[in-house]
Amino acid sequence: MSGIGLVLNLAKDAILTQQYAIDVISHNIANVSTEGYARQVPMLEAQDAAPYGGHLFGRGVKLSDIQSVTNAFIERRLQSSTSNLSMMTEKETYMNIMETIFTENSSNSISNQFSEFWNALNDLNNNPSGIPERNMLTEYASLLAQSFQDTSSDLLNLSKEVNNSIEVSINSINEVLDQIADANKQIQLVKITGSPNDLIDKRNLLVKELSEYMDINTYEYEDGTITVSSNKGFMLVNKQSSYHLDFNGTDITWSTNSSPITNEINGGKLGGWLDIRDEIIPKFKSDLDELAKSTIWEVNKLHSQGVGLTGFTSVTGTYDVDDSTSALGIPASGLDYYDRIQDGSFKIYLYNADGDYMGDTTITIDADTTSLDDLATTLSALTIGGEDALNSTITNDSLNIEIDSSTHSGYTFAFSDDSSNILAALGINTFFTSSNARDMGINDMIIADKNFIAAGTISNDEIYPGDNTNSLKLANLQYENVSVKKWVYSRGESPTSIDVTNITLDNYFHQMVGSIGIESQSVQREKSYTEAIQEEMKATRDNISAVSLDEEMTNLIKYQHAYMAAAKLITTAQEMLDEILQTV
């Protein structure tokens, strides 16, 4: 009886064990399309042998464990490639937008507006006293300034959009961190009595989602829980505890001690967004500002030494100072173009109410000592041709020069031969305003009266309405080489610049657009490479962990046959027992 009982017990355990195995296989088949599911394998092992009749007999089979088939190394590689691919995908998206912003195909592009501006200057050369030509020049110059403004605004809006994406993602990241900590808690509880494979798969999906946002590292404890940290070691999850991130509009901080970790994030969507916000956009915005600054300066430097159809009765500079007592050629002056001021001089001419030349004088400038107060005092004290006709004051931190109308009504004045660049630096008799793309505009004086467009220069102490000597110089700027800065931005470091010489304004813009295209192509190539790595890692993971229906059907048949054989054991044992009972 004991032998037959052993067979019955062995058969019963075998039936249950094969049934458990079939349950595992069924679970695999049911999750063949479930994202993140790792194939599970029933681990069967022989029961410990037991003595009977002087021998050790095996006691059948048992289910010792249900293992999830994964490879930790491959999972980490897949996690890393997921982070890299997410970063490059976001960078590609925003580089495409950058290319659209700087496209040269639009009629409103800076490139086309430059062409129209140069053409308008050439038209003015042909008829320097023509009011229609002056109107058209002002219109196209305004359109050029507007193109600079629009491009700068587009870059600013793009940066704001990226910032909004970062802010939203921080909330999503914190939710994922909480979910990972909660999954750790559940896994720790379940592992006491069984295999929490499905919970681990769920947690792995959460880790994958987190890696899409940022580059991370994970470490698993013996109790099944994990820690998650940033790639630079800032703890995000430790077992059942999560540590949130904060965003103050500029920096991402670790909420534990408010440490900024912005520059420590180099992967995932966050890494891509931060690269775009802190490197790509600032670089091209700075280059755009440099182009605008150089365009404004080169035009203003020539224009300030020219003369329009009439002289001035009053003129106010468009650039103000921070300190009127500071030397104009040093940073403390606060002038946008303080560094362009040099030792030199300029001439100022005086004409009576009939337009007759009364005289001229030369004003000497020392870049390191002459202040705005000094210049205003010097101009006010001038006597030109025996006439004390000029007053000069500082109005709203800008230089104002005007005819004393109470004593010299109808008198006018004009400028020439400025070797110090002081007139352009102060915005006296200039064409453009500002020193950056965002605020670039046309001098209000010219908008109000196109006669002040300085197409000519003073010749033989007289103003010639038909003179085009200055507009010709302005038009030739299209072909003149200038010195312009190019900027380099790297997260966590101060921006640096290099001086690019022997380049025209147009070519600088073309090179800038070309470099955007090169950067975009580089991102696309890196994304393609990362995609290939990702697909390779996914294929390797699937070969290891994914469910194969063919394999599972084979296993199902195997365990089904084993189940049927175990059932046959019970039938055989029953027949043996009946035979014994009949004999007795």
The per-residue pLDDT for range 237-255, each reduced to its tens digit, is 999 999 999 999 999 998 8
Residue 425 near residue 136, CB atoms below 8 Å: no
The per-residue pLDDT for range 266-325, each reduced to its tens digit, is 999 999 999 999 999 999 999 999 999 999 999 999 999 999 998 999 999 999 999 999
pLDDT band at 101 (very low <50, low <70, confident <90, very high): very high
Q: Which tokens hold the place of 355?
A: 């337009």
Count CB atoms within 10 A of the CB of residue 391: 19
Domains of the chain (ranges plus CATH)? 2-69+548-583 (1.10.287), 71-303+505-546 (no CATH)
The per-residue pLDDT for range 119-155, each reduced to its tens digit, is 999 999 999 999 999 999 999 999 999 999 999 999 9
Q: Which tokens hold the place of 479?
A: 């072909």
Residue 234 near residue 263, CB atoms below 8 Å: no
Q: Which tokens hold the place of 321?
A: 């100072």
At 2 the pLDDT is 56
Strands across the sheet containing 398-403: 314-316, 398-403, 390-395
Tell me how far the alpha carbon of residue 384 is from its chain's centroid. 57
For residue 346, the SS3 value is strand
The whole-chain average pLDDT of the chain stands at 92
pLDDT band at 56 (very low <50, low <70, confident <90, very high): confident
pTM given for the model? 0.88
Is residue 385 predicted with pLDDT exceeding 60?
A: yes
Is residue 365 predicted with pLDDT exceeding 50?
A: yes
**308 phi-psi bin (left φ>0, alpha ψ -120 to 50, beta other):** beta
Rounded mean pLDDT, 172-177: 96
Count CB atoms within 10 A of the CB of residue 407: 11
Percent of the chain with pLDDT over 90: 76
Q: In angstroms, rounded to a whole number, what is the distance separating the alpha carbons of residues 236 and 82?
A: 18
At 1 the pLDDT is 43
